[in-house]
Amino acid sequence: MKKFTEQERTYYRQLIWDNALDLFEKKNGLTHNLIIKSQRRFINKLNVLGKNKYKSIDVLNNYFKNPDKYLAEQIFYTTIKKKVNLNKICFE
Protein backbone atom coordinates (compact mmCIF):
# COMPACT_ATOMS: atom_id res chain seq x y z
CA MET A 1 0.00 0.00 0.00
CA LYS A 2 1.38 3.36 -1.05
CA LYS A 3 1.73 6.11 1.51
CA PHE A 4 0.13 9.36 0.43
CA THR A 5 1.35 12.85 1.23
CA GLU A 6 -0.98 15.27 2.98
CA GLN A 7 -1.55 17.14 -0.29
CA GLU A 8 -2.58 13.92 -2.02
CA ARG A 9 -4.95 13.01 0.81
CA THR A 10 -6.52 16.47 0.67
CA TYR A 11 -6.89 16.20 -3.09
CA TYR A 12 -8.55 12.78 -2.82
CA ARG A 13 -10.95 14.03 -0.14
CA GLN A 14 -11.86 16.93 -2.44
CA LEU A 15 -12.49 14.49 -5.30
CA ILE A 16 -14.71 12.33 -3.10
CA TRP A 17 -16.90 15.24 -2.01
CA ASP A 18 -17.03 16.62 -5.57
CA ASN A 19 -18.24 13.24 -6.78
CA ALA A 20 -20.87 13.13 -4.02
CA LEU A 21 -22.09 16.57 -5.07
CA ASP A 22 -22.24 15.55 -8.74
CA LEU A 23 -24.21 12.42 -7.89
CA PHE A 24 -26.53 14.41 -5.64
CA GLU A 25 -27.27 16.90 -8.40
CA LYS A 26 -28.04 14.03 -10.82
CA LYS A 27 -30.37 12.34 -8.30
CA ASN A 28 -33.45 12.71 -10.49
CA GLY A 29 -32.10 10.24 -13.04
CA LEU A 30 -30.63 7.74 -10.56
CA THR A 31 -31.99 5.56 -7.77
CA HIS A 32 -30.87 5.80 -4.15
CA ASN A 33 -29.03 2.48 -4.29
CA LEU A 34 -27.27 3.35 -7.53
CA ILE A 35 -26.01 6.67 -6.15
CA ILE A 36 -24.67 5.03 -2.98
CA LYS A 37 -23.08 2.19 -4.95
CA SER A 38 -21.44 4.66 -7.37
CA GLN A 39 -20.01 6.73 -4.52
CA ARG A 40 -18.70 3.65 -2.70
CA ARG A 41 -17.11 2.37 -5.92
CA PHE A 42 -15.47 5.77 -6.50
CA ILE A 43 -14.02 5.84 -2.97
CA ASN A 44 -12.71 2.29 -3.21
CA LYS A 45 -11.14 2.99 -6.60
CA LEU A 46 -9.01 5.75 -5.01
CA ASN A 47 -7.67 3.36 -2.31
CA VAL A 48 -8.10 5.98 0.38
CA LEU A 49 -7.39 4.91 3.94
CA GLY A 50 -9.05 6.31 7.03
CA LYS A 51 -12.02 5.89 9.29
CA ASN A 52 -14.06 8.72 7.73
CA LYS A 53 -13.66 7.80 4.08
CA TYR A 54 -17.35 6.87 3.84
CA LYS A 55 -18.62 10.09 5.46
CA SER A 56 -19.97 11.29 2.11
CA ILE A 57 -22.04 8.11 1.87
CA ASP A 58 -23.45 8.76 5.35
CA VAL A 59 -24.47 12.27 4.29
CA LEU A 60 -26.11 10.95 1.11
CA ASN A 61 -27.94 8.25 3.12
CA ASN A 62 -29.16 10.92 5.53
CA TYR A 63 -30.73 12.79 2.61
CA PHE A 64 -32.44 9.74 1.15
CA LYS A 65 -33.80 8.44 4.46
CA ASN A 66 -35.07 11.77 5.78
CA PRO A 67 -38.80 12.23 5.13
CA ASP A 68 -38.46 16.05 5.00
CA LYS A 69 -36.56 16.50 1.71
CA TYR A 70 -36.24 20.29 2.06
CA LEU A 71 -34.56 19.98 5.46
CA ALA A 72 -32.43 17.07 4.27
CA GLU A 73 -31.21 19.07 1.28
CA GLN A 74 -30.27 21.98 3.52
CA ILE A 75 -28.33 19.62 5.80
CA PHE A 76 -26.55 18.14 2.79
CA TYR A 77 -25.46 21.52 1.42
CA THR A 78 -24.48 22.80 4.87
CA THR A 79 -22.33 19.73 5.42
CA ILE A 80 -20.44 19.94 2.15
CA LYS A 81 -20.12 23.69 1.69
CA LYS A 82 -16.76 23.69 3.49
CA LYS A 83 -15.58 20.58 1.66
CA VAL A 84 -16.08 21.56 -2.00
CA ASN A 85 -15.45 24.61 -4.12
CA LEU A 86 -18.38 26.94 -3.49
CA ASN A 87 -18.57 27.83 -7.20
CA LYS A 88 -19.70 24.25 -7.92
CA ILE A 89 -22.74 24.56 -5.65
CA CYS A 90 -25.66 26.17 -7.40
CA PHE A 91 -28.28 27.38 -4.95
CA GLU A 92 -31.80 27.62 -6.26
For 35-69, write each residue's pLDDT tens digit: 999 999 999 998 888 888 899 999 999 999 999 98
Inform me whether the pLDDT recorded for 89 exceeds 60: no
Inform me whether the pLDDT recorded for 78 exceeds 90: no
pLDDT band for position 86 (50/70/90)?
low
- What's the rounded mean pLDDT across residues 17-21? 91
User: How many Å apart are CA 12 and CA 65, to the nearest integer?
Assistant: 27
User: How many Å apart are CA 40 and CA 37, to the nearest integer?
Assistant: 5
pLDDT band for position 88 (50/70/90)?
low
**Is residue 75 within 8 Å of 62, Cβ to Cβ?**
yes
Inform me whether the pLDDT recorded for 8 exceeds 50: yes
Inform me whether the pLDDT recorded for 1 exceeds 60: no
C-beta neighbour count of 44 within 10 angstroms: 11
pTM over 0.85: no
**Is residue 23 within 8 Å of 90, Cβ to Cβ?**
no
